[in-house]
Structure 1
Amino acid sequence: MGNVAVINADEFAQKVENDKELTLVDFYADWCGPCKMIAPVLEQLSETYSDQINIVKLDADAHPEVLAKYGVRGLPTLMIFKDGAPHATKVGAQPKSAIEEFVKEAI
């Protein structure tokens, strides 16, 4: 997988909700074509911005309770967390330039 770690619900609480670091969460599913399309982009961005933002993935099918908590209704959903709270959200596959701009705006 590379630099983007797949986390579970317990790790989500620890690495996202209880962390002061800036974190982008990719809510995805293995069956989701658009999710697969943006995965390489997230890998590239995780390398480029590794000192400014953490990027992690959460399997929507395995952890529906997390999706419900944050109102995630479509996949992929990219959500940036600041100080453990949702800061910005993008839903659906986006071109690299749009995802990179989304990240830059949060940094």
Structure 2
Amino acid sequence: MTPLIQRESGSGTRTWFEHAVTRLRKGWSPEVALELSSTTAIKTAVASGAGPAVLSSLAVAPEIAAGTLVSPTVTGLELERVLRAVWPTGDRLTGPARDLYAIARRDTT
């Protein structure tokens, strides 16, 4: 596999991606071309030709739209993330927060 530009070890996107690949290829470990601490730094490195990266589609949407980065189609790899809503124990959601939570819980399948 091609070495990737990645976030620091333990970051959400990196952990999620590594788990997804490991499910398909047991014993796989990532080859890291460059490890950076921000999404902006990774996008800059990719745009300058330092190598490819895996980032959230939301994080790169402006660059994809502008044509400064490209996103290939990936098949056979489950790249869907699980998100969690959290709030302090004992609190109840009200108003817009409750409405957003209700929308997020809807089953879209």
Structure 1 and Structure 2 fold alike (TM over 0.5): no
TM-score (norm 1): 0.29
Identify the structure with the greater strand proportion.
1
Larger radius of gyration: 2
Higher relative contact order (CA 8 A, sep 6+): 1
TM-score (norm 2): 0.28
